[in-house]
Amino acid sequence: MFAFTDIRLQGVSYAFGTHTVLNHIDLHIQPGSIVALLGPSGCGKSTLLRLLAGLSEPAEGEIWFGDRLVAKAGWSLPPEARDIGMVFQDYALWPHMSVAQNVAFPLKMRNVPRGECEQRVMQALSMVGLAELAQRKPAGLSGGQQQRVALARAIVAEPGVLLFDEPLSNLDSALRESLCHEMSRLLRQLGTTAVYVTHDRREAEWLADRIVHLASGKVESVRNITSSSGEIA
């Protein structure tokens, strides 16, 4: 089962040298909600996501997943210990592995027995409509299919938190729209907490329950969305 994890950032700052990228960010993400981090290129979205993933350490502040401290100034729980799944813009699939082997990787890291592993891989691939392509190599897939594989890999271990960094930006606009709707449906079905970075306002409005606007290293505004009736606050 997917766990329902809330995420809390308290006074989180980050700098590249003397360039402050995130400046005392306070944010609470409700368990099971889908939050879009929206803002122009260079505003610090990926940096914030990397802190959530454990790929960087904050200079100041604390990050909590539920009642577990995962990062503070100068210390960070590594990604593999965080119960997260992540989808990147460039898919980041391993080219020498088949689709099934790519999706199985997070389960192997967790020492899931082979039989269960195969069953869960096929289940995750079915959820993204790719069960028939399990034995292909990534190079034999379209961009949209590769991103579906990355999505299956992110959800296969049923993590408490899913992190997305502009996963649709490399796709053409028709595919972007259909995959966006598909991901929205899947995320709601799973009920896991998701943080979705994008610079595309429409994508954010389609997908998210809340939109957090980042600007100049700060949270500029937080807006609630309902999928049926549009903006509510």
DSSP run (H or E) holding 173: helix 173-190
Q: At its nearest, how many Å lie between ligand ADP and the CB of residue 79?
A: 17
DSSP strand pairing (75-76 vs 19-29) = unpaired
* Nearer CB in complex with Mg ion: 108/201: 201
Q: Is 46 in the site for Mg ion (CB under 5 A)?
A: yes
Pick one of 7, 29, 36, 46: the residue that binds ligand ADP (CB under 6 A). 46
Largest CA distance in the chain: 51
* Nearer CB in complex with Mg ion: 46/192: 46
Q: Give the C-alpha distances (Å, rounded to integers) separating 154 from 57, 74, 83, 104, 195.
A: 22, 27, 10, 10, 13
Tell me phi and psi for residue 97, to 5 degrees: -105, 150
Q: Is 61 in the site for ligand ADP (CB under 6 A)?
A: no
Instruction: Give the residue nearest to Mg ion (CB).
Output: 46
Picked from ligand ADP, Mg ion, none, the partner binding residue 146 (CB below 5 to 8 A depending on kind) is none
Q: Is 18 in the site for ligand ADP (CB under 6 A)?
A: no
Interatomic CA distance for residues 205 and 54, integer angstroms: 27
Q: Is 45 in the site for ligand ADP (CB under 6 A)?
A: yes
Picked from Mg ion, ligand ADP, none, the partner binding residue 37 (CB below 5 to 8 A depending on kind) is none
Under 8 Å between Cβ of 33 and 8: no
Picked from Mg ion, ligand ADP, none, the partner binding residue 229 (CB below 5 to 8 A depending on kind) is none
Q: At its nearest, how many Å lie between ligand ADP and the CB of residue 21?
A: 4
Q: Is 47 in the site for ligand ADP (CB under 6 A)?
A: yes
By rule CB under 6 A, what string of x and - marks binding of each residue 129-148 to ligand ADP?
--------------------
Q: Give the C-alpha distances (Å, rounded to integers) separating 210 from 56, 108, 119, 231.
A: 25, 34, 34, 10
Residues whose CB is less than 8 angstroms from the CB of residue 124 and which lie 6 or more positions away in sequence, other chains included? 103, 152, 153, 155, 156
Picked from ligand ADP, Mg ion, none, the partner binding residue 111 (CB below 5 to 8 A depending on kind) is none
Calculate the dihedral angle through the C-alpha atoms of 186, 188, 190, 191, rounding to the nearest 10 degrees: 160
| Residue 107, helix vs strand vs coil | helix
Residues that bind ligand ADP in the complex, under the rule CB under 6 A: 16, 21, 39, 41-47
Q: Rule CB under 5 A: which residues touch Mg ion?
A: 46
